[in-house]
């Protein structure tokens, strides 16, 4: 008699994640000691130029990450750069591996695999002249992309590392006054708890925004149009509405936005549909809308919590840049 057991390990299911531009840089050090250090950097090792071979090995190691680690997703790397930087004052060689691509999963393991392969190659080529070698300080320096944006290792980076790699975070909305409005007859009547609005509030506050206006209104054109005009006059810069963008008879949020709009922002609306469709084909049934009202941008997003979160992830990298353009300020 046999008993079937669930596997004790799983490859992460990333099918529902949205492809984004991702980058990771890993670092580690090779410590050959004073005499061997000079031999390495002067390229006098018996087996050949260790620095050049280490960079080649790092490239190969990054590409083979999924073969070395069983649960690591095979990915199509678009960039791998390996650097070996001598540090004479410590007789060390600092090795960096930078990996980048656009995908549903990150490239941290590829960067770490590249660093390890380069360090082991330095070790292998140096051991004929000095067996007392050490490898130290292997870690992820930083990663960027995905819905979480920039992450930097707690040990930080020095000025040279920041200057060379220029890590980029999501454009912040620090201090920007924002509003979130949920459009729902049932939620406004207290028949069920609004769950989409809080998702948007959390996403905006994560970017540093001041979200003081949080409301639930019944479906309808006039109440929403009146409220949008008032918020624009109060100096609110971003208003994100959720609900009322479908094909039902009471789904009239886009009509309210068009009633008050100074200009439509068709590109952002189409991007919301296109990127959301990577999660579900039902996104093409959404009438998501984006308009400009004075100095305020207004977004009409779908009403489900999951769709609200997806749309927030899609828009987060662009909101700060959109406001900069609206103000005529330079933007990256």
CB atoms within 10 A of CB 235: 10
Residue 137's region, left for phi above 0, alpha for psi from -120 to 50, else beta, is left
User: What are the distances in angstroms from CA 131 to CA 39, 41, 121, 124?
Assistant: 14, 17, 14, 10
Instruction: Give the separation between CA 290 and CA 298, rounded to whole angstroms.
Output: 6
Q: Residue 21: beta bridge partners?
A: 102
| Mean pLDDT computed over 276-280 | 82
Yes or no: say if 189 and 156 are a contact pair by the CB < 8 Å rule: no
Tens of pLDDT, residues 155-182: 999 999 999 999 987 778 999 999 999 9
Residue 10's region, left for phi above 0, alpha for psi from -120 to 50, else beta, is beta
Tens of pLDDT, residues 86-115: 999 999 999 999 999 999 899 999 999 999
User: What are the distances in angstroms from CA 33 to CA 132, 216, 221?
Assistant: 8, 67, 74
Tens of pLDDT, residues 8-50: 888 888 887 778 889 999 999 999 999 999 999 999 999 999 9
User: What are the distances in angstroms from CA 51 to CA 91, 128, 141, 172, 212?
Assistant: 14, 16, 21, 40, 56
**Active-site choice (124, 185, 210, 213):** 124
Tens of pLDDT, residues 44-71: 999 999 999 999 999 999 999 999 999 9
Quote the Cα angle for 207-211-216, to 5°: 125
User: What are the distances in angstroms from CA 141 to CA 23, 79, 112?
Assistant: 11, 17, 10
pTM: 0.74
Q: Is residue 124 flagged as an active site residue?
A: yes
Give the length of the chain.
332
The pLDDT mean for the chain works out to 92
DSSP 134-156: EEEEEEEEEEE-TTT--EE-TT-
Q: State yes or no: pLDDT of 276 exceeds 60.
A: yes
Residue 328's region, left for phi above 0, alpha for psi from -120 to 50, else beta, is left
């Amino acid at each position: 008699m046999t008993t079937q057991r669930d596997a004790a390990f799983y490859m992460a299911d990333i099918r529902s994640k949205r492809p984004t531009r991702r980058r990771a840089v890993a670092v580690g050090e090779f410590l050959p000691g004073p005499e061997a250090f000079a031999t390495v950097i002067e390229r006098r090792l018996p087996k050949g130029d260790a620095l050049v071979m280490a960079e080649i090995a790092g490239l190969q190691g990054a590409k083979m990450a999924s073969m070395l680690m069983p649960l690591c997703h095979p990915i199509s790397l678009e960039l791998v750069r390996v650097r070996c930087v001598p540090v004479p004052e410590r007789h060390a060689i600092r090795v960096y591996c930078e990996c980048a691509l656009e995908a549903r999963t990150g490239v941290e393991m590829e960067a770490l695999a590249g660093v390890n392969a380069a360090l082991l190659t330095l070790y292998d080529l140096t051991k004929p002249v000095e067996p007392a070698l050490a490898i130290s300080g292997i870690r992820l320096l930083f990663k960027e992309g995905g819905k979480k944006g920039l992450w930097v290792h707690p040990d930080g980076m020095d000025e040279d590392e920041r200057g060379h790699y220029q890590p980029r975070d999501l454009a912040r909305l620090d201090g920007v006054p924002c509003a979130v409005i949920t459009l729902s007859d049932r939620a406004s009547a207290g028949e069920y708890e609004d769950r989409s609005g809080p998702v948007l509030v959390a996403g905006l506050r994560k970017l540093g925004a001041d979200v003081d206006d949080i409301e639930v209104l019944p479906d309808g054109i006039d109440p929403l149009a009146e409220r949008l005009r008032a918020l624009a006059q109060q100096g609110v810069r971003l208003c994100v509405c959720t609900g009322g963008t479908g094909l039902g008879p009471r789904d009239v949020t886009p009509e309210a936005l068009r009633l008050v709009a100074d200009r439509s922002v068709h590109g952002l609306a189409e991007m919301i549909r296109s990127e959301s469709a990577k999660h579900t084909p039902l996104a093409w049934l959404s009438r998501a809308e984006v308009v400009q009202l004075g100095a305020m941008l207004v977004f009409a997003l779908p009403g489900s919590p999951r769709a609200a979160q997806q749309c927030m992830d899609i828009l987060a990298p662009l909101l700060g840049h959109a406001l900069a353009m609206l103000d005529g300020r330079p933007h990256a």
